[in-house]
Amino acid sequence: MENSESVQLSGEIVKDGDSEIVTESAAFVRGEAPQEGEGPPKVDSEVEVLHEKVTKQIIKAGHGEKPSKYSTCFLHYKAWTESTQHKFDDTRQEQRPLEMVLGKEKKQMTGLAIGVSNMKAGERALLHVGWELGYGEEGSFSFPNVPPKADVVYEVELIGFDETKEGKARSDMTVEERIGAADRRKMDGNNLYKEEKLEEAMQQYEMAIAYLGDDFMFQLFGKFRDMALAVKNPCHLNTAACLIKLMRYDEAIAQCSMVLAEDENNVKALYRRGKAKAELGQTDAAREDFQKARKYAPEDKAIAKELRQLAEQDKALYKKQKEIYKGIFGPPPTPKPKEPSSLPIRFWQWLIFIWHSFMALILQLFRRERLKTN
C-alpha cells in the first residue's frame, strides 16, 4: 500500500477482494472520533424538534441520503442521564459499534432510532430523548444502569448504513451472507484508500469488522473461520495503514496487535506495528518487530530498509551523545610545566660532589678503626 514497501508488503489494497459480491445500496462519509469530555458536549447549533420527546443538534454535518425504515445502521454513541450528567454507555470505549435495524430496534432505543433515522451517514449529533422513549418509568438496574424516568442525552455518530428490503440484522444472516457483506465493505474501503480518502476508507473497514464481531468469530471453525479472518485481518491491517498516514500511531499499533493476537507471525502486522513504534521513538520495540518480520520474510527490502534506518538513527544518536558528554566534562587537563629552579645547576653539582666526598671519608675512617681493633 505504501510506495516504499516491497511486493510482499504492498498491494493488499489493490489485490484484496478479487471476487465480485453483489449487495444492496449503501451510504458512508468521512467520520472522526468525538472529543473526550466529562459530560455531553456543548453545542450551539440550531435545535431541531424531531418528535415531542426527541430533539437534535448537529455537531458535524453528514453526507448523502438519510436511512429509511429497515435500514441496517452502524453507529457509535455515548449516553448520559440528563439530570445527573452520568455517562452510562459508550460504544467507542467498547470498540464495538452498535448495529440497529430501524423499525426493529429495542424499546429503550426508540428515541435513539428516531434521531438516527433523521441523520445522514457520517453525521454526528447531540440528541435529547425524553424518558418515555428511553428507559421508561422504571429505568434499568442492570447494564446499562439508568434511573427511573431519566431523560437521556446521546452523542451519536452514524458511521454508515445498508439499505435492505427485509431489514435483516447480522444475527439473522447466514455465515456466508455476513462474510460477503463484510468483504463488500472491505472492497469499498480499498477503493476509497486508493483515492486517498482515508477517513472514509476506515469507516468501511470498521463496518466490515462490525459484521465479523467477536461473538460471531467465536462460533466459527474450520474453513468458515479462515474465510472470515481472510476479510477481518486485512481490514485491521488496512486501517493501520490509514492511521500511519494520518500519524495516529498508537491506534495503528492497536490495530496490528489485534491481527497478531490471531496470527503472531503475520509479517504485515509486524512490519506496520514496527513502523508505528519507530515513529513514536520506541526504537527497541520497533527493531524487535522488524527483526521478527525479517525472520519470516528474509528477502523483503522494505523490512531491511527500516532496520538500516534504525541502525543509522542509533549511530547518529551515539555521536550526538558523545559530543554532548564531551561538552559537559570538557577536555582532559594538560600538565603544567615545572618551574625552573632559582639556583644555578653548578651549585647543585658541587653540593652532590661534596656529599659523596664526605661519605667516602667516613667510610675510610670506619675501615681504619676496624683494622686497629683486629
Listed by start position, the domains of the chain span 1-24+171-316, 25-33+43-164
What CA–CA distance (Å, rounded) separates 113 from 122? Answer: 16
Residue 195 neighbours by CB distance under 10 Å = 9
Report the top-level CATH class of 25-33+43-164. alpha beta
For residue 108, what is its C-alpha cell?
Answer: 429503550
Q: Are strands 54-60 and 48-51 parallel, antiparallel or unpaired?
A: antiparallel
With cut-offs at 50, 70 and 90, classify the pLDDT of residue 373. Answer: low
222-226, 242-246, 346-350, range with the lowest pLDDT: 346-350
For residue 338, what is its C-alpha cell?
Answer: 615545572
CA angle, 179 then 262 then 158, to 5°: 50
What CA–CA distance (Å, rounded) separates 126 from 337? Answer: 83
73-132 pLDDT, tens digit each: 999 999 999 999 999 999 888 777 888 989 889 999 999 999 999 999 889 999 999 999
115-145 pLDDT, tens digit each: 999 999 889 999 999 999 999 999 998 888 8
Q: Which residues contact 228 (CB under 8 A, 6 or more apart)?
A: 175, 179, 182, 212, 216, 217, 220
For residue 133, what is its C-alpha cell?
Answer: 422513549
Cα of first residue to Cα of last residue in the chain, in angstroms, is 112
pLDDT at 338: 57
**Could you tell me which residues are beta bridge partners of residue 87?**
80
For residue 53, what is its C-alpha cell?
Answer: 420527546
pLDDT at 265: 93
What CA–CA distance (Å, rounded) separates 284 from 281? Answer: 9
Report the top-level CATH class of 1-24+171-316. mainly alpha
Nearest Cα neighbor of 136 from 154, 152, 153, 148 is 148
Q: Pick the residue with more confidence: 187 or 169?
A: 187
Largest CA distance in the chain: 143
Quickly list DSSP for 63-100.
BSPPP-TT-EEEEEEEEEETTT--EEEEHHHHT-PEEE
With cut-offs at 50, 70 and 90, classify the pLDDT of residue 358. Answer: confident
13-63 pLDDT, tens digit each: 433 333 333 333 344 433 344 444 578 999 999 999 999 999 999 999 987
**What does each C-alpha distance from 57 to 46, 75, 99 come to in angstroms?**
6, 17, 22
What CA–CA distance (Å, rounded) separates 91 from 145? Answer: 15
